[in-house]
Amino acid sequence: MTTHHRPYKCTIQIALPSNQYAQHLKDIISVDQEISDKVVKSFAVVESTSCTQHDTTIDDGGKADEEMNKNDMRVLQINFEATDAKMLRVSISTTYDMINVALKCFQEFGE
């Protein structure tokens, strides 16, 4: 196995309502390995440092949106490193597709 210099890097963070959702999503999308060793992904579930959610569903009679600090929110952090920009883009795009499918399943069937 050849080691590659990977100068192209990207980190994405997905805020989720609970540690359990974050861990489930991590478990789901971390199963598939990259096809090539030109891209490396690492996953971590981290605490949300400054997640503020604006609740627009509350009928507040014209008052400003109620802000709720979500101390229990968790963030799935995915770090990508690639040998070239195209490989990085393809890996990120594929990962977002898998995240989208998993989140739709969470919505439809629950955890």
Q: Measuring CA to CA, which residue among 27, 9, 15, 24 is closest to residue 92?
A: 9
Predicted confidence at residue 48, as pLDDT, reads 78
**Which sequence spans correspond to the domains of the chain?**
8-50+67-109
- Whether the CB-CB separation of 101 and 32 falls below 8 Å is answered with no
For residue range 59-108, list pLDDT tens digits in order: 445 443 333 344 567 999 999 999 999 999 999 999 999 999 999 999 99
Buried b (16+ CB within 10 A) or exposed e, 78-102: bebbbbeeebbebbbeebeeebeeb
Determine the topology of domain 8-50+67-109 in CATH.
TATA-Binding Protein (3.30.310)
Predicted confidence at residue 59, as pLDDT, reads 47
